[in-house]
């Protein structure tokens, strides 16, 4: 199985990334215009225990606080609210997030004007500031949510590892297309339901269930190598669909943490999901391209390399399952 070495390399890559990668949370900043030159500020930052992440809003120097800061840490999130006055408004002014360059998270910034127009911008460690536009475009909003979706799937090691497990089980491009399509339909469905508020799953047990879905694929991969069969091997798209429902709730946790609401919610959901699909399809295409390249080169790999991917999927799935079950039960923090 020449493809095993390539896939094993991808799993090794996955194993060195954080086990909770798909939970990497974003910060959220909202500035709502309440008067000609006054704004209410809402600042949401990830926290752990009593400590919040060390990132801070840097407003234009002429902006002055006109109220004290209210809020606190609730459910591992620091919430802060205050009001400011910025002579001449914020238009064409620069807003930055100090300390963001030293982190691995993004900040979604939303500026809401009195006339209802909004500007949504995604800041990152490499781009920690932006200029408030006089006429924000819908294209800027689309690009922001698209990038968030792509990064969410590419940094979601457990989601990618599940897709990788499916690649190891499914033979034939048509069956693979059906399986990946089933996974896509399922997680798109629960992503929409959860984001729009029609369904909700507690995060700790959800994370444990997602890890369990990866663990489930380990023995199935071994059965494929032994020439055995099972319901999963015969009907991989059914299993992909059922577990895809769980993964969709996982994607929704990333989008809901951004704090968007109102008319922007549906549009943000759509673009976020498109970004997730772009990232997922890109990952699959890269793997298939690597497999074709090694097949063309006719490179032979050691026998043990053929077995590494299946056992790696099972081992990582088991480790994450135990870790997340312990977190859900409060045995570790």
Same domain, 15 and 43: no
107 in the same domain as 234: no
Q: Quote the domain boundaries for residue 102.
A: 27-136
Note whether 47 and 85 are same-domain residues: yes
Nearest to 53 by CA among 69, 76, 35: 76
177 and 305 co-located in one domain: yes
Place of tokens 């507690």: 202
CA 64 to chain centre: 35
Q: How many CB atoms lie within 10 A of CB 128?
A: 20
Question: For residue 144, is it within any domain?
Answer: no
Using a 10 angstrom Cβ sphere, with 0-12 exposed, 13-18 middle and 19 or more buried, the burial of residue 129 is middle
Q: State the Cα–Cα distance between residues 150 and 245, nearest whole angstrom.
A: 19
Is 36 within the bounds of a domain?
yes
| Phi (first) and psi of residue 201, to 5 degrees | -130, 130
Paired tokens of 66: 């006109």
Confidence at residue 306, expressed as pLDDT on a 0 to 100 scale: 67
Is position 146 within any domain?
no
Structure letter (DSSP) for residue 94: E
Of the candidates 136, 166, 196, which is a domain's last residue?
136
What distance in Å separates the CA atoms of residue 161 and residue 21, rounded to the nearest whole number?
12
Of 330, 329, 319, 327, the residue nearest 211 (C-alpha): 319
11 and 37 in a single domain? The answer is: no
Does residue 141 lie within any of the structural domains?
no
Residue 132: inside a domain:
yes
- Tell me how many helices (H) and strands (E) the chain has: 9, 11
* 103 contacts: CB under 8 Å, gap ≥ 6: 53, 55, 125
User: Are 160 and 268 in a shared domain?
Assistant: yes
Q: Are 310 and 183 in contact (CB under 8 A)?
A: no
Rounded to an integer, what is the distance from CA 63 to the centroid of its chain? 34
On whether residue 145 sits in a domain, the answer given is no
Paired residues of 237 in beta bridges:
none
Please report the beta strands in the chain, taking only residues with DSSP state E, as ranges in sequence order. Answer: 27-33, 38-48, 51-52, 56-58, 64-65, 70-74, 77-85, 94-98, 107-112, 118-123, 129-131
CB atoms within 10 A of CB 212: 17
Q: Would you give per-residue pLDDT tens digits along the chain (333 residues)?
A: 434 444 544 544 444 444 444 444 678 999 999 999 999 999 999 888 788 899 999 999 999 999 999 988 887 789 999 999 999 889 899 999 999 999 888 888 989 888 877 888 888 899 999 999 877 677 777 887 888 888 888 877 888 889 989 988 998 889 999 999 999 999 999 999 988 888 888 888 898 999 999 999 988 988 888 889 999 999 999 999 999 999 999 888 767 666 666 667 788 888 889 999 999 999 989 888 887 887 787 767 677 666 777 788 888 899 999 989 887 787 766
* Total number of domains constituting the chain: 2
Same domain? For 294 and 195 the reply is yes
Q: Do 14 and 36 lie in a common domain?
A: no
Structure tokens at 25: 């949370």
Of the residues 136, 171, 195, the one at which a domain ends: 136
| 267/291 same-domain check | yes
Question: Is 262 inside any structural domain?
Answer: yes
Say yes or no: 100 and 74 in one domain. yes
Cα–Cα distance measured from residue 58 to residue 294, given in angstroms and rounded to the nearest whole number:
50
Same domain, 63 and 198: no
Domain's final residue, options 136, 166, 185: 136
Do 189 and 264 sit in the same domain of this protein? yes
Examine residue 222 and state whether it is found in any structural domain, yes or no.
yes
CATH number at residue 260: 1.20.1250
Rounded to two decimals, the pTM is 0.76
């Amino acid at each position: 199985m020449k493809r095993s070495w390539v896939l094993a390399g991808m799993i090794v890559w996955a194993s060195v990334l954080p086990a909770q990668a798909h939970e990497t949370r974003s910060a959220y900043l909202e500035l709502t215009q309440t008067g000609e030159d006054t704004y209410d500020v809402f600042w949401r930052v990830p926290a752990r225990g009593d400590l919040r992440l060390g990132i801070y809003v840097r407003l234009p120097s002429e902006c002055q606080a006109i109220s004290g800061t209210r809020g606190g840490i609730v459910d591992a999130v620091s919430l802060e609210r205050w009001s400011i006055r910025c002579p001449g408004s914020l238009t064409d002014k620069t807003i930055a997030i100090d300390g963001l360059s030293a982190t691995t998270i993004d900040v979604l910034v939303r500026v809401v004007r009195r006339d209802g127009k909004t500007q949504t911008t995604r800041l990152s460690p490499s781009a920690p500031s932006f200029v408030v536009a006089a006429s924000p475009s819908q294209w800027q909003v689309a690009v922001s949510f698209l990038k968030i979706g792509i990064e969410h799937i590419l940094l979601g090691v457990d989601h990618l590892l599940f897709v990788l497990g499916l690649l190891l089980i499914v033979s034939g491009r048509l069956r693979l297309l059906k399986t990946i399509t089933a996974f896509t339909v399922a997680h798109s469905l629960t992503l929409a339901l959860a984001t729009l508020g029609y369904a909700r799953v507690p995060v700790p047990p959800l994370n444990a269930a997602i890890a369990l879905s990866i663990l489930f694929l380990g023995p199935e991969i071994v059965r494929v190598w032994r020439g055995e069969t099972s319901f999963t091997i015969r009907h991989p798209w059914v299993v992909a669909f059922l577990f895809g429902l769980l993964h969709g709730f996982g994607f929704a946790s990333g989008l809901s943490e951004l704090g968007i609401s109102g008319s922007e919610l549906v549009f943000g959901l759509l673009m976020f999901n498109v970004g997730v699909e772009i990232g997922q399809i890109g990952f699959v295409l890269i793997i298939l391209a690597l497999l074709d390249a090694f097949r063309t080169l006719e490179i032979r790999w050691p026998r043990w390399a053929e077995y590494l991917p299946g056992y790696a999927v099972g081992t990582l799935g088991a480790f994450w399952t135990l870790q997340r079950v312990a977190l859900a039960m409060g045995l570790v923090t």
